[in-house]
Amino acid sequence: MSMTDALGRIEEIRSTLSQLSGAAAVKPAAAASVAVAAGTDAEFASTLSSLTSAASAGAGSVDGGTPAGAAADGEVLGAVQKYLGLPYIWGGNDPAQGLDCSSFVQNVYKDLGYTLPRVTWDQMNSGTEVGSLAEAQPGDLLFSHDGGHVAIYLGNGKAVDAPQPGQTIAIRDAWETDANLTTIRRILPTESAGASGAGAADAAGLSDLVASARAAQAAMMGSAA
């Protein structure tokens, strides 16, 4: 797939999403990444259909106002998006060069309008405690290794973190369990029970799309080099 074709797909997706009632929760950067993954007309139609369904999953209202999922997991996913692919650097706190796990979390929440401490051992005392992973909502912070590592939960078994030297910030399957977690902390306002389920599905669907699109983009760039 040529770069010209990819740019054409980007414009098609953006144009279509602008007409969708639930599309506000989908960030332009995510749409652009998905466009690169759509290499044929059939793939494009399938990708757009998946993206539309994921956005619509959060279309219910919370208290008659903000769409379910848009106020929490949608914003978290959007804030996370710009850091994907950055290298892990121990002690790093430069969004242009690299971050460690706690500085990644600090920067994401700064973008969302929340001030968090710099290191995990202080961050794990922020917000309110969540009793178990089953109660976790998108945006909750997962602390493991006795507080030595932190990840952001995205819902439905997905998380994102700056993992370790030699790796990059990426959305992944959550390996965390109640047995290996030190604590779970909630920084964002609590969603209603109905919104939580829809929000988790929305975040998981978009997370999968972003992850697969980035992999396809990397493969395309590699073949073009």
Residue pLDDT, tens place only, 2-23: 555 555 555 565 555 555 444 4
Find the range with the poorest average confidence among 23-27, 85-89, 90-94, 144-148.
23-27
Residue pLDDT, tens place only, 121-180: 999 999 999 999 999 999 999 999 999 999 999 998 999 999 999 999 999 999 999 999
CATH, range 70-186: 3.90.1720.10
pLDDT at 3: 53
Delimit the domains of the chain by residue range: 3-64+193-224, 70-186
DSSP code of residue 69: T
pLDDT at 41: 47
- pLDDT higher than 90, residue 63: no
Angle ∠(165,107,138) on CA atoms, nearest 5: 95
Q: Where do we find the tokens 């997905």? A: 158
Burial bucket for residue 121 (CB in 10 Å: 0-12, 13-18, 19+) = middle
Contacts of 28 (CB under 8 A, 6+ apart): 14
Question: Model's pTM, two decimal places?
Answer: 0.58
Predicted confidence band at 182 (pLDDT cuts at 50, 70, 90)? Answer: very high
Residue pLDDT, tens place only, 30-46: 444 443 334 444 544 45
Average pLDDT over residues 76-105: 95
